[in-house]
Amino acid sequence: MENQLRDYILMMADNVMILGQRLGEWCGHGPVLEQDIAITNIALDLIGEARNYYQYLGETEGKKEDEYPMKRDVRAFKNILLTEVPNGHWGDTIMRQCMFDCYHYYLLEGMTMSKNERLAAIAKKSIKEATYHLAFSGEWVIRLGDGTEESHQKMQQSLDDLMPYFNEMFIPESYEIWCHEQNIAPSPEVVRSSANEKFNAILTQATLQMPEKYYSKKGGKSGLHTENLGFILADMQYLQRSYSGVDW
């Protein structure tokens, strides 16, 4: 397998694995039982998608799928910074999820036409779940943004706080460009255009205003992360780090 393809698959896998871990932190803590179950199910969907990518890599490299999420250090992860941002309150989580879902849905949509049959198959399965994820997060952004004065103010603050992480999803690394040129992955610009259009439509319905100025943070896709990822991995990898090779 080419290094560029390997890096791309790791990015896809790490994005949904780390966000799935974050969403899993809501289990038992959701605002109401229905939303607690819904957000936990989304977490399971994302981790299931990550497993498909890790299994693909494991088959080509002779490794177990668990070695990728459980035995790599921070710098080896290629997830975007948005996925490792702490959950905050419910509005923060929903805004983060909506941002990611807009990107994730259109990325998978393009991936269904990949010449790599394995990635295309994963995308065709995952986009069914991503469709629900986007509907769920989008509806909640609209409900809270166009709700009470307090909920509107909180959602506007969530948007302002998270916008610095938004653009990284659409700034391509060299391996993304290579995969697009090989007809393995969709055009980053096409994904950006579609995701931005969808996200802006949701914000309009939610009566939320895009901040005029914000600094775009990046680095996650090349292994440069915030301190947050270290804490996630310390928790996620505890068992394998303490008892290396332990199995069920």
Higher-confidence position of 212 and 56: 56
pLDDT higher than threshold 90 for residue 160: yes
Q: What is the pLDDT of residue 246?
A: 77
Q: Which of 134, 133, 155, 136 is nearest to 144 (CA)?
A: 155
**Average pLDDT over all residues of the chain:** 97
| Cα–Cα dist 51/44, whole Å | 10
The length of the chain in residues reads 248
The single-letter DSSP state of residue 81 is G
Residue 141 to residue 135: CA distance in whole angstroms: 10
**Average pLDDT value for residue range 240-248:** 80
10 Å CB burial of residue 38 (0-12, 13-18, 19+) is: middle
On whether residue 162 sits in a domain, the answer given is: yes
- CATH code (residue 38): 1.20.1260.10
Residue 138: the pLDDT is 99
pLDDT per position as a tens digit, 12-24? 999 999 999 999 9
Give the whole-angstrom CA distance, residue 226 versus residue 156: 23
For residue 219, tell me if it sits in a domain. yes
**Residue 248, pLDDT above cutoff 70:** no
Q: Is pLDDT of 93 > 90?
A: yes
**How many domains does one find in the chain?**
1
**What is the mean predicted confidence (pLDDT) over 82-94?**
98
Domain that holds residue 202: 3-242
Among the residues of the chain, which ranges form H helices?
3-24, 33-61, 67-70, 90-111, 117-145, 149-162, 174-181, 188-205, 227-236, 238-242
In a domain, 35, yes or no: yes
Report the pLDDT value the prediction gives residue 219, as an integer from 0 to 100: 98
In a domain, 34, yes or no: yes
Exposure class string for 97-107: b at 16+ Cβ within 10 A, else e: bbbbbbbbbbb
Which pLDDT score is estimated for 155?
Answer: 99
Domain for residue 247, yes or no? Answer: no
| Residue 243 in this model has a pLDDT that exceeds 90 | no
Q: For residue 190, is pLDDT > 80?
A: yes
**Residues whose CB falls within 8 Å of the CB of residue 197, separated by 6 or more in sequence, listed in order:** none
